[in-house]
Structure 1
Amino acid sequence: MTLVFVETDESGQVALTSAEALTFARTNADVFAGSVLEAAVIGTLSESAHSQLAALGVDRIHHLESADLEAYSATAWAQALVDIAPETGAVLASGTPRGMELMTHVAVRTGERMAANVVAADEEGLLRQVLGGAAFERLQLGGDLQVLTLAGHACNPEETTPTTPEILSHSPESAAEDLRTRVVRTEVETAADNDTAGLTQARAVVGAGRGVGSENGFGEVLELVDHLGGALGVSRVVTGLGWRPHSEQVGQTGSRITPDVYIACGISGAIQHMAGIEGAKTLIAINTDEESTMVQRADYAIIGDLHEVVGAVNEEIRSRRG
């Protein structure tokens, strides 16, 4: 059996990263010795989430809801997962901050090893990202239960023949010591600080780095974003300089993206940034330095000043659209 911890958003929808984890678990059922796919949802289980889980091939849904679990507590939530975890098979979550924290506690409480940022699995073991995605490590966890997190966008979520999931309701009571640390207050972020969905789900992303020159140098890039109906992604140095908000940052400490096309404008290609764009299907670089990592890794590269190149592209698009 494979148990997947599922995160949902404020509207009750299954998070994209959790849909990826479910797809990964389903398509690697033979590796985890578990033909039964189970999902664990803590808190509200909406009709929409139920339908999504069915479409993703879930056989059984564990719905955990109690007063002790209303506020997030890593230790209490992890113990609730341990209580329903299989003796053999796998327990996994997406590699979000919450997923990583919970799987760490699950591993400790079950006495099992844990693998983080897994990208593939086969009969030889697990493959995971290390060094910010600059290298990969092959490992075998051993033991009867494998505990792991899936790297963001390591696979595309894919629906299958809808199932009719059995729903098992649980009302766990947590030990007092497991409730010593929990969320006591949540502050709502502004839209500018919290709106990363557009970036992570965009099919076209235009990236901007130090090469834009200044806080006021994004004009041409933003116009191209408009033309493509895409999203703007920036490097860490750009947010570090205060030119753009952190929600737009792409990379190891920002968002990991999987667009059909990523156009990197004035970005040299630091390891941390490359880790965030490795899922891009086509990479186009615009840079004055033909020796930069971004240019060397790109499918297509244009050597030149980004303002001139992007400006010319925008002008051509406007001309063709009349």
Structure 2
Amino acid sequence: MIVVLVEVTPDGEPAEVSLEAVTFARSLSAAGGGVPVDVVVVGEPSTSSVETMTAYGVRRVHALTGDAFAAFSGAAWAAGVLSVREKAGSVVVMASGTPRGGEVMAHVAARAGVPMAANVLSFGGLSPFVVTRQVVGGAALEEMQLSARPAVFTVAGHAVEASPAESPGAGDVVVETPAVADADLVARVVSTEEPEADLSGDLSSARVVVGAGRGAGSADGFKDLLELTELLDASLGVSRVVTSLGWRPHHEQVGQTGSRIAPDLYIPCGISGAIQHWAGCSSAKNILAINTDAEAPMVTRATYAVIGDLHEIVPAINEEIRRRRG
């Protein structure tokens, strides 16, 4: 059996990257003769979320409940996932390559005494089980053999496109309250705070993203970029240097140490396109780069490019959008 940790959005629906992981698990299941795919969620799932997971071919939804799961704790979640795995005897435990997915799978692998493969893109043979994963921020690919059981790994964001199964699964829901040691709750989320204004949205699922880099010039240089973001109903993503300089918050960062995006359109403005940033945006379907340097890596990789100062080009784009909308 294959067990997939599924994260849910604030409205209780399965996250897009988790549905990608379930899609990946289905292809692995098909290659292995049709072993069932089960998922683990924290908290009792909504009816609509169960319907979604059923449409994605999930046989059973294991819902972890109890005080230990009221807030995020990597160790506690791992204890719950391992409890499900041990009862079912699954040979594969996996999650999407999000910060939480990576943390939980690391705990799972350590407790099970097996290696973990992060950012897996695809798999090869099953005997032995070989996966291909991103390393060095996506600059290189590595083949890794997972001979120990369970095989534990995370799936790189947008490695596959989320797609429902040809035949729905049973979608049975099993509510479980596994035992969690006090030591597993030492590190846990104790509070959350929402920013006053957030244009980043859910970068991982945004269809249009406006990017901003050092070319913005300063923390005060985002006025036109923010207007473009609003006009396009887009999300704002920034390079690492922007967050390092304190111009924008870290949760807006796109790249190796930020979000991985796969929008229909990415508009990087004043971003050179270092390999660390490219690791986060290479799955974009179309890229329109705005940069003063015609030889910048982002420009040479872009679908389209405009060579010039973003502070001249972006206001012109905004004006044209407003004009066309009357």
Amino acid at match of 2:140: A
**CA gap 1:16/1:53 in 2 versus in 1, 3 angstroms:** same
Amino acid at match of 1:311: P
Question: 1:214 maps to what in 2?
Answer: 218
Is 2:189 the counterpart of 1:187? no
Contact 1:33/1:89, CA 8 A, preserved across alignment: no
- SS of 1:215's partner is coil
What is the alpha-carbon distance in structure 1 between the residues aligned to residue 163 and residue 68 of structure 2? 34
Q: Contact conserved, 1:31 with 1:122, CA < 8 A, in 2? A: no
State the AA in 1 paired with 2:76: A
Structure 2, unmatched stretches of 5+, are none
Q: Which amino acid aligns with 1:226?
A: E
In the alignment, is residue 172 of structure 1 matched against residue 174 of structure 2? no
* Equivalent position of 1:118 in the other structure: 120
Counterpart Cα distance in 2 of 1:78 and 1:191: 32
Q: 1:62 aligns to what?
A: 62
- What residue in structure 1 maps to residue 9 of structure 2? 9
Give unpaired runs (5+ residues) of structure 1: none
- Would you say how many aligned residue pairs link Structure 1 and Structure 2? 320
The 1:143–1:88 alpha-carbon spacing in structure 2 relative to 1, beyond 3 Å, is: farther
Change (3 A) 1:199 1:180: closer
Partner in structure 2 of residue 158 of structure 1: 163
User: What TM-score do you get using the length of structure 2 for normalisation?
Assistant: 0.88
After TM superposition, the structure 1 = structure 2 runs for residues 123-162 of structure 1, keeping only pairs within 5 Å, are: 123=125, 125-160=130-165, 161-162=167-168
SS in 2 for 1:49: helix
Shift in Å, 1:75:
3.0
Can you list the C-alpha shifts for 1:103-141, whole angstroms capped at 9, x where unaligned? Answer: 112112222221011122232721111111121111121
* CA apart distance, 1:51: 1.6
- Once the two structures are TM-superposed, the CA of residue 311 in structure 1 deviates from its matched residue by 3.0
8 Å CA contact 1:235–1:267 kept in 2: the answer is yes
Tell me the CA shift for residue 196 of structure 1.
Answer: 4.2
Residues 234-249 of structure 1 mapped to structure 2, 5 A cutoff? 234-249=238-253
**Could you tell me how far 1:190 is from its partner in structure 2?**
2.6
* Aligned residue number for residue 18 of structure 1: 18
Does the 8 Å contact 2:207/2:263 carry over to 1?
yes
- What CA distance in whole angstroms lies between the structure 2 residues aligned with 1:196 and 1:266? 18
How far residue 149 of structure 1 moved from its aligned partner, in angstroms, is 0.7
Distance 1:196 1:31, change over 3 A: farther
Matched position secondary structure for 2:22: helix
Provide the C-alpha distance between the structure 1 equivalents of 2:32 and 2:194, rounded to a whole number of angstroms: 39
**Distance change (3 Å), C-alpha of 1:320 and 1:39:** same
Distance in 1, Cα, partners of 2:189 & 2:322: 52
The Cα shift of 1:4 comes to 0.5
Other structure's SS at 2:29 match:
coil
Counterpart residue identity of residue 140, structure 1 = Q
CA–CA distance in structure 2, aligned partners of residues 227 and 180 of structure 1: 44
Q: Is the 8 A contact 2:57 2:164 kept in 1?
A: yes
CA contact (8 A) 1:208 1:266 kept: yes
| Deviates most, 160-169 or 272-281 | 160-169
Q: Distance in 2 between matches of 1:191 and 1:156?
A: 33
| Aligned-partner Cα distance in 1 for 2:224–2:273 | 21
C-alpha distance 10-55 of structure 1, shift in aligned 2 (>3 A): same
Q: What residue identity is the alignment partner of 2:100?
A: R
Deviation readout 1:117-173 (Å, 9 max, x if unpaired): 112223272111111112111112113421101112222222234333122232222
Distance change >3 Å, CA 202–CA 81, structure 1 → 2: closer
Give the secondary structure class of the aligned counterpart of 1:222.
helix
Does the C-alpha gap of structure 1 residues 138 and 67 become closer, same or farther in structure 2, counting only changes over 3 Å?
same
- Give percent identity, aligned residues only: 50
**Corresponding residue for residue 302 of structure 1:** 306
User: Quick one: distance in 2 between partners of 1:184 and 1:315?
Assistant: 44
Instruction: Quote the Cα distance in structure 1 between the aligned partners of 2:187 and 2:312.
Output: 52
Q: Is the 8 A contact 1:82 1:106 kept in 2?
A: yes
Q: Deviations over 1:75-103 (max 9, x none)?
A: 33323322221545311011222211221
The secondary structure found in structure 2 opposite 1:29 is helix
Contact 1:32 1:89 in 2 (8 A): no
Residue 255 of structure 2 aligns with which residue? 251
Amino acid at match of 1:90: V
Is the alpha carbon distance of 1:67 and 1:201 closer, same or farther for their aligned partners in structure 2, counting shifts above 3 Å? closer
How far 1:31 moved relative to its partner? 4.3
Question: Within 5 Å, which residues of 2 pair with 1:73-84?
Answer: 73-84=73-84
